[in-house]
Amino acid sequence: MTPITLTSRAARRINEIMGAEPPGAMLRISVNGGGCSGFQYAFDIAKDRAADDLAVERDGATVLVDPTSLPYMEGATIDFVNDLIGQSFKIENPQATASCGCGTSFSL
């Protein structure tokens, strides 16, 4: 399995967001069917980690990925960008063959 990478910018932003959440809260990223390209990323706050979740950690930030979503995200890099069109988490997924303009949906 190729690991999922979390950039320092993403870790910093996750820590900022989790500062307003109860202690132990983590960011969960999952892949769901839908979106304009076939699959879409979902971002949620998780209070608990399931035994089969993958935990990606960096600089005190934790991202959870469930085993169903993991094959769709292998080798991905999770980043946080702040540009002219706004702030958002950006996932560079080497498996995606196409993505939509909003950056949250993709196809394989």
Does residue 39 lie in a domain region? yes
Does residue 84 lie in a domain region? yes
CA distances from 15 to 4, 6, 61 (A): 18, 12, 6
pLDDT averaged over consecutive 10-residue blocks of the chain (108 residues)? 90 96 95 79 94 96 96 94 85 79 60
CA distance 72 to 22: 29
| Number of domains, the chain | 1
Does residue 34 lie in a domain region? yes
CATH number for the domain spanning 83: value is 2.60.300.12
Does residue 54 lie in a domain region? yes
Does residue 101 lie in a domain region? no
Does residue 20 lie in a domain region? yes
Does residue 91 lie in a domain region? yes
pLDDT in tens, 56-87: 999 999 999 999 999 999 999 999 998 877 88
